[in-house]
Structure 1
């Protein structure tokens, strides 16, 4: 019942429909069914708000709603009471047939850095595209090269940096990175095995062993070889603990490593002068002969380390001036022991107006090159040390002997004298270029320096030079103790050739012995040439071709000796 503005009452719709009926007014069955159908209609036409539905068709199976992918037609349960839209979004992002997931191959140009053969880093325009697998490998490479802990990837700073640089990259855990590092090692090992197997030249090995502070014996084995592209390679094959430093144990450890890598084309083993290494090399020579891979029966397989011999020679000389070196070493150590002392020393340097950007460095008594660097730096600050002694009254009380004028004078002579040996050590220790062709030149240079210093007017330097010359003659004074490959590599150098060898050996060993040594070196080179000729026969089997090669070789040998 409704009321009009005039106050009259008008019957409602239901009252008109049921006019004349008795009892209360109730909704008819028709009216109830209409209301229920309207409710169902509303639920069925409820608008789907998730964008994932744009990629799916809806299908009802046994009263359960399913979503069918428009691209790959994959069936995914999507009942609103039991499932959300997360599975749908995940599938859309990974669906292989989704056009938006296909990479167009378009890379991004960016300014990167490239390293030249000379080691210089230059900018270059490169293309880049996101690759999660490559990023993970680069992180494993970073952990290995920079010697970082695996948990570095879980640090807040690293994760913040990665989120800033590449937000779409999922940072792996420390356990994943540890597996990536090991997998990177296995991949690189396979590559190196392939390189060693297909390498056309022979391999020269260098090994050394030592004992750690935990009293564990370790050995390192390094391979040097020239690949098919004529590039010098230096690869560490093994770094492992060994039972002891006995020669047999070292030899067996090297043999096991060679078998693991499948390497048998060995030319030389370079070791220091420990007696145990002589036993190890003898053991390995026998194994190479059993493998039928020894050149000339392993006659020149054993090469003594040049830098180690130089270290022994110089250490004998430094002992002659031990008191002066000890005084300067103690003064340097006293200044470096305290930050306040070092600060006061720098003030003395400024007052004395010493223009040197070097800093005082400590040395290791067993490494003469570090002693050379310590003396070379300290002698530049002689005036600063004198002023520091005046300003620090405790220095005289703590040190027994302070450096005197005589000590500084001896240090200067020693620095000048040792500079040649230091430069020689740096040159021979290089690994980015071949050094064997310079060994003989360096050895002869040392001999000339020692002879010159032996005749010096300074009695102390002369005595030191004589002591060093005795040690020199122990290793390089006789031809029987030298490896012929040292002479052969010098003769093959186009800058020196045979004439230089003959001239130098005559200067070193005298005219008679020098001529004999030069002849032995020539015979050794042709013996090595014939060995390689037998190991690598020519491809053609024709008799005429072989005879022509033989006659040409004989003519070359005759010419070689004639011009020698």
Structure 2
């Protein structure tokens, strides 16, 4: 377990330091994680200076944070009654939301994955595919295979494959062993879902591409997700509504109680603007 501390120094500059590597042998339950974190904080003498802890959404981490929150509540007053003590990993939640959503077209994604893999497995197939691409005068040349545990790589695979949607059926006519060609209705679904995933991809890049804590970006991007889900919740397409429903359920599970923070942040922004800050 790696512990990283973010803090403000005497000159009001944000600092970031890895403060410990903690060996946690199995079974790595929440109580062991909490003990490991507290021991490290104690060694540094900062156990009474902890403002918030950010972890991913493993159940053992939930237990660890609950134990630490109870411990710190006994010795210090946590800000906002401890509601800001446990910060969940934004990128991880976005990943969980998207994974739930794209499960609505799981079979289509699997067909595209198999298609790309089938074509890339043979130089002869690649040449046949490339010949069709040149015949149709398409600027793109290369298919991308996804990593199934990373949703953004799946999005990239679908986005690139979309550009070759007219090539696949022509390739099927030339390759008798190719049996997983998506139909036109499948491509229509992929196109509509990619419109939604494009927003999530942009947000993930903002959240994950930073080298500093992204609390200044966090609420705006979470609110952007909420607006997108609310807007598409009553979409005319049944599969889009089902997809958005799954994503909203995951959103509400982790961020359903965040309205206080958004309202508070909006009021603070208005106050600063009125005061000329």
TM bin, normalised by shorter chain, reads: 0.7 to 0.9
Q: Deviations over 1:212-232 (max 9, x none)?
A: xxxxxxx23223334445544
Shift of 1:267: 1.1
3-state DSSP of counterpart to 2:4: strand
Q: TM-score, normalised by structure 2?
A: 0.83
Partner of 2:233: 454
Distance 1:299 1:452, change over 3 A: closer
Measure the CA separation in 2 of the matches of 1:258 and 1:288. 12
Measure the CA separation in 2 of the matches of 1:339 and 1:229. 60
Q: Deviations over 1:334-391 (max 9, x none)?
A: 123334433443333222211136x322223232222111111111122232332233
Residue in structure 2 matching 1:410, options 183, 189, 194 = 189
Partner of 1:387: 170
Partners of 1:439 and 1:486 within 8 A in 2: no
Measure the CA separation in 1 of the matches of 2:118 and 2:86. 44
Partners of 1:317 and 1:468 within 8 A in 2: yes
Partners of 1:303 and 1:483 within 8 A in 2: no
- Unaligned stretches of 5+ in structure 1? 1-218, 501-558
Q: Larger Rg: 1 or 2?
A: 1
Q: How does 1:94-493 map to 2 (within 5 A)?
A: 219-243=1-25, 244-264=27-47, 265-289=49-73, 292=76, 294-295=78-79, 298-356=82-140, 359-396=142-179, 401-433=180-212, 435-477=214-256, 479=257, 482=258, 488=264, 491-492=267-268
Measure the CA separation in 2 of the matches of 1:229 and 1:380. 52
Distance 1:351 1:498, change over 3 A: farther
- Unaligned stretches of 5+ in structure 2? none
What is the total number of aligned residue pairs between the two structures? 273
Distance 1:476 1:287, change over 3 A: closer
3-state DSSP of counterpart to 1:364: coil
3-state DSSP of counterpart to 1:348: helix
Measure the CA separation in 1 of the matches of 2:133 and 2:119. 13
3-state DSSP of counterpart to 1:249: helix
Shift of 1:416: 0.7
Measure the CA separation in 2 of the matches of 1:322 and 1:267. 41
Partners of 2:169 and 2:181 within 8 A in 1: no
Partners of 2:30 and 2:61 within 8 A in 1: yes
Q: Structure 1 residues 233-242 or 306-315, which shifts more?
A: 233-242
Partners of 2:96 and 2:250 within 8 A in 1: yes
Residue in structure 2 matching 1:497, options 249, 270, 275 = 270
Measure the CA separation in 1 of the matches of 2:261 and 2:16. 20
Distance 1:498 1:457, change over 3 A: farther
Q: TM-score, normalised by structure 1?
A: 0.44
3-state DSSP of counterpart to 2:165: helix
Bigger strand fraction? 1
Structure showing greater relative contact order (alpha-carbon pairs closer than 8 Å, 6 or more residues apart):
2
3-state DSSP of counterpart to 2:166: helix
Q: Deviations over 1:11-54 (max 9, x none)?
A: xxxxxxxxxxxxxxxxxxxxxxxxxxxxxxxxxxxxxxxxxxxx
3-state DSSP of counterpart to 1:241: coil
Measure the CA separation in 2 of the matches of 1:484 and 1:304. 16
Bigger helix fraction? 2
Measure the CA separation in 2 of the matches of 1:411 and 1:251. 43
3-state DSSP of counterpart to 1:355: coil
